[in-house]
Chain A
Amino acid sequence: MAAQTGTLRRWLARVRDAGRETRTRHPGRRRWLGRIRALVPARLLVILSVVGPGIIVSNVDNDAGGITTYSLAGAHFGYSLLWVLLPLTVALVVVQEICARMGVVTGKGLADLIRERFGVRATFYVMAALLLTNLANTVAEFAGVAAALEIFGVSRYVSVPAAAAFVWWLVAYGTSRRVENVFLVACLFYVSYIFSGFLAQPPWGTVLTRLVVPEIHWETGYLVMLVGLVGTTIAPWMQFYLQSAVVEKGVRVADYRYTRYDVVVGSVIAVVVAMFIMLACAATLYEAGIGIDTAQDAALALEPLAGAYCAALFAFGLFNASLFAASVLPLSTAYYVCEGFGWETGIDRKLREAPQFFGLYTALIGLGAAFILVPGFPLLEVMFVSQVINGVLLPVILVFMLSLVNDRTLMGQYVNTRAYNVVAWGTSGIVTVLSVAMVVSLVLGAG
C-alpha cells in the first residue's frame, strides 16, 4: 500500500463549476505515444500490423513431409531438380495471393465463402476430406517430432505427449497476436537449414546454373519426385488457413499491398529453405551415393559426411518444422470446419464461447499424438493416404477459389485481371495435372 493513500486528508482547490484555468500539464499519453510514433515511420507500423499470415503459412508448409521430400530429392537426384524451385515460387505466390486478396476484400474465410456460394453439401464433403487429410498430416507431424528428438536421444513416449501438451496450451491460453508471434519465431528457426546447407559446402557455381537451366529426365523416379515436390508445396489446407488468418488480422483493403508483400516474402523464404535442404543432402549424400528413406535417415547420414553440427542443425530443423506444423494444422482445421458450419471461431475466444472450435482442435492434437504412441501403427500408409486426398482435393479447391475470386458481386473491382487469370488458371492447371499424376504414381507405386 502506497504511503500517500488511505486516509490522508486532501483539499479540493476548486469547484468544478467555477470556470477552470488551465492547469500545469503532465507529459501525457498523447505526447508519449506521439514520441513513439515519431520514431517509427507510420508506414512501418502499418506493415508490422499486416505482416504475418503469409510468412507463417508458407513456412509451415515445409513440414515433416515436405522436409522428407526435399531431402530425398537432394539425396537421390543431386542438383538436377533445383530448377523446379523457381516456377514453384511463382505458383505458390499466385495461389496464396488470391486467397489473401479474398480474405481482405470480403472479410470472410474461404470456408465461409464456399458455404455461402456452393451450399451445405459441397461444404460438408470438402470439410470432411480436409478433416481426414489433416488428421493424417497431424499424425505425420508428431511422427516428425518423435523422429527428430530420437536423434537427440529423447524417447517418443516423452517427446510426443510433451509436444502435444505445448501445442494445445499455446492456442487454448494464447491470444492470436501472441500465437502469431510464436509462429513467426518458429519461422526464424528454419535458418538452421540454411546453416546446414552451407556447412555441407556445395559447389556454388554448379548450383547457380542448375537453378536456372531446366532439365528433364524421363525416368519414373525422377518424374515422381518432380510431382512430389509440387504436391507437397501447395496443399489445400494452406489456402483455408491463410485466408482465415488474414481475416482475423483484420487487414484493411487500403493496406492490402502489404499483405501482398507478406505473401511474396513468405513464399520466397519457404522455397529458399527448401533449396538449402536439397543442397545439404545433394552435396553430401548424393555425392557419397548414400540412399535414404526419411528425413531422420538424412540427419543421421549427414554426421560422418558433413560433421556433427550440420547433422544436429538438420535434426533441429526437423523438430522445429514438425512442432510448428503440428500447431498450425489442427488450428486451421478447427477454423474452417467451424466457419463452414457457422460455429464460433478464433483464438481470442474463450473455451466456453467456442466449444466446437476448441473441441476439434483438442481432438486433432490428441488423436494425432496418440496414434504415434500405438505400437505397430501403420504410419506410412496413413501419410500416403493423406497425400492422395490432398492431391485429389487440390484441383477442386482451386476451381472453387478461382470461381469465387472472379465473382464481381463478391470482389467488386478486386477480381483477377485477365493476365492474372491466365497465369492463375495456368498454374492451377499445371498443379492439378501434377497432383493427379502424384496420386496415380503413389497408387501405382503402392500397388
Chain B
Amino acid sequence: MVEVASGAAAGPTPLIAEPEFGFLFLSSVLDKPVEDAEGVRVGRLHDLVVAMASTFPPVVGFVVRRGRWDPFALSGRWTDVADLGGPAIRLAVGVRALTPSAGSDADGEVLVRAQLLDRQIVDINGAKVVRVNDVHFLRLGRAELRLVHVDVGTRGLVRRMGWEAQLDGLVRRLAPRSRYLSAERLIRWQYVQPLSLDPDAQNVRLSVVQRDLKKLHPADLAEILTDLDGHERFSMFRSLDTETAADALAEVDDPRIQTELLQMVSPDHAADILEEMQPDEAADLLGELPDETSRALLHKMEIEEARDVRELLSYAPDTAGGMMTTEFVALPAEIAVEEAFARLRREAPDVENIYYLFVVDAEGRLVGVLNLRHLILAEPTAVLRDIMLGTPTLVHHNDSRDTVAEIVEKYDLLALPVVDDNDTLVGMITVDDVVSHIAKQAWRRKLAH
C-alpha cells in the first residue's frame, strides 16, 4: 500500500503541502498521538466520524481520548486537522476549540471505530455476513479522507495485530509467490450493508445506509438473514419491502427462523407478506405457527389469498395436498388458441409455472393437458380440444411425498396436477417443491450405504 510520507512541518504554522493522493488504513492512524497547533499533546486519536450522505463518505470529524478506556473524550471537525502524515496528528487549532463529547449525534454520521470496525456487515456482492477487520480510506489532498473499502481479509487481521511487516517479510522469504501477499479482501463501500448494533430495536439505525437489497437473489438474502444474529436479522428484515421480504422468507430453510421473523413484524405487515407469498409457501409457514397466531393472520389477509391458504392448510403436510399450490391455469377445452393466450395474459401473472396448462370441458372436467410449446406451435384458430394431450399424469391429494417425487422423477415433469376424492382438480405441484425432497432422499440413500 503506498503511503506518501508528508514533509512534517516544523514550527507551529502548518505548511500548505502539495496535495497527496494515496490510500490509508484506519489501523494506521487509530491511537496515534494528537497535538494541537501549539504542539501540545491532546491525547490519542480514538475514532473518526464519517458522513454517510455520499457514495464515498467523507471523514467529517474525529474523537480524541487520553487512553482507550478513558471516559473523557474531545471531538472536533475534520477541517481542524492540519496534517496526518507525521509521527503525530497535527491540528490547526488549539485544544480549546475542541468540544468535550465522545461522538456524533448528528443524523447520518457514523463513528467508524465504534460502529463499523470489528462489527458484522453484509457483503452485498458475495451475499455473506463478514466481519470488518480494517477500514480503507482514499486520501485526497492534505487531509481529506474518504471511506472507500472495508477490509475483511486475513491481511486486515494481521495488520491489526501489528504483524504485517514481519509476516510479509517471512512469507516473501518462504513462499514469494504466496497468494497471501497480494490477496486483499477489500469490499467496495457501495457493496457494504452495515448492520445496526443497537440492541434497542426501536431506533435501529440501519437506515443510515440502505443498500439496494432487492438486487440480491432471494435465496442469497435468505442465507444472509439466517447468518445474522437476532437483532440484526430482525432490523434487516424489517427494512425490506413487502415483496422482497416475502421472497426471502420463502427461501429461509429453517422454519424456526421463518416463524420468528414473521412474529417480529406487526400482524398487518405479516399478513401483507403472507399475501405476497405463494399460497403453498404461506400455508407451510402458517402451519408452523401457534394456532391462534395463524388464525389471526389469516383473518387479516385479503379474502382471496386467505381462502387459498386455508384450503391448503386442510391437507396433511407430507402428502401431495400439502405440497401443492392452488395457483394454476385451467382453460376451457372449446376455446381457440388465440383466446387461450388472452386468458393466460390475464390469469398468469401470479402463477408459479405456466408451462403446463390444464384443459377442462364445459362441465369443468379435465380433458387433458397442454404445454406452452403446443400452444405456441399451433394455429391461432385451432381449438384446444384438438391439440391437447388427453391423458394427464396426476396424483391424489393423499398420495405420499415419495409417490409424488417418484412420478415427477419418472416422467420428468415440471408440474403435476393434484385431484381430491371427488376427482376435482385442486392444485398443482411444481418441480421445485419436489427437488428438495428428492435431494433429501438421495442423501438418505447415500448415508445408508
A29-B315 contact, Cβ under 8 Å, with A342-B131, A410-B199 = yes
Complex-state Cα separation, A37 to B421, whole angstroms: 28
Query: Hey, which chain A residues are within 8 Å of B314, CB to CB?
Result: 25-26, 28-30
The closest CB in chain B to the CB of A120 belongs to B160
Query: Hey, which chain A residues are within 8 Å of B406, CB to CB?
Result: 1
Leading 6 A-B pairs by shortest Cβ distance:
A342-B131, A107-B230, A11-B365, A12-B366, A28-B314, A107-B229
Shortest distance between the CB of B288 and any CB in chain A (Å): 9
Contact of B118 among A4, A42, A105, A116 (CB under 8 A): A116
Complex-state Cα separation, A107 to B229, whole angstroms: 5
B: interface residue count bin: 35 or more
Complex-state Cα separation, A247 to B232, whole angstroms: 13
Query: Hey, which chain A residues are within 8 Å of B419, CB to CB?
Result: 10, 12
Query: Hey, which chain B residues are within 8 Å of A412, CB to CB?
Result: 199-200
Q: Does A106 contact B (CB under 8 A)?
A: yes
Q: Does B44 contact A (CB under 8 A)?
A: no
Query: Hey, which chain A residues are within 8 Å of B130, CB to CB?
Result: 342
Q: Does A5 contact B (CB under 8 A)?
A: yes
Query: Hey, which chain A residues are within 8 Å of B360, CB to CB?
Result: 12, 15
Q: Does B211 contact A (CB under 8 A)?
A: no
Interface residues of B in 390-435 (CB under 8 A from A): 390-399, 403, 406-407, 410, 419-425
The closest CB in chain B to the CB of A250 belongs to B256
Q: When the two chains form their complex, are residues A10 and B423 in contact, meaning their CB atoms are under 8 A apart?
A: yes
Q: Does A157 contact B (CB under 8 A)?
A: no
Among the 9-residue stretches B1-9, B186-194, B316-324, the one with 4 or more Cβ atoms under 8 Å from chain A is B316-324
Complex-state Cα separation, A5 to B392, whole angstroms: 10
Shortest distance between the CB of B185 and any CB in chain A (Å): 11
Q: When the two chains form their complex, are residues A124 and B364 in contact, meaning their CB atoms are under 8 A apart?
A: no
Interface residues of B in 139-168 (CB under 8 A from A): 152, 157, 160-162
Complex-state Cα separation, A34 to B257, whole angstroms: 21
Binary contact readout A14-48 vs B (1 if CB under 8 angstroms, 0 otherwise): 11111000011111111011100100001000000
Residue numbers of A with Cβ under 8 A of B are 1-2, 4-18, 23-30, 32-34, 37, 42, 105-108, 112, 115-116, 119-121, 124, 173, 247, 250, 252, 341-342, 344, 348, 409-412
Q: When the two chains form their complex, are residues A11 and B118 in contact, meaning their CB atoms are under 8 A apart?
A: no
Q: Does B383 contact A (CB under 8 A)?
A: no
Complex-state Cα separation, A308 to B284, whole angstroms: 55
Interface residues of B in 205-249 (CB under 8 A from A): 227, 229-233
Contact of A14 among B227, B229, B313, B424 (CB under 8 A): B424
Shortest distance between the CB of A357 and any CB in chain B (Å): 13
The closest CB in chain A to the CB of B286 belongs to A30
Binary contact readout B300-318 vs A (1 if CB under 8 angstroms, 0 otherwise): 0000000000000111110
Q: When the two chains form their complex, are residues B199 and A11 in contact, meaning their CB atoms are under 8 A apart?
A: no
The closest CB in chain B to the CB of A26 belongs to B314
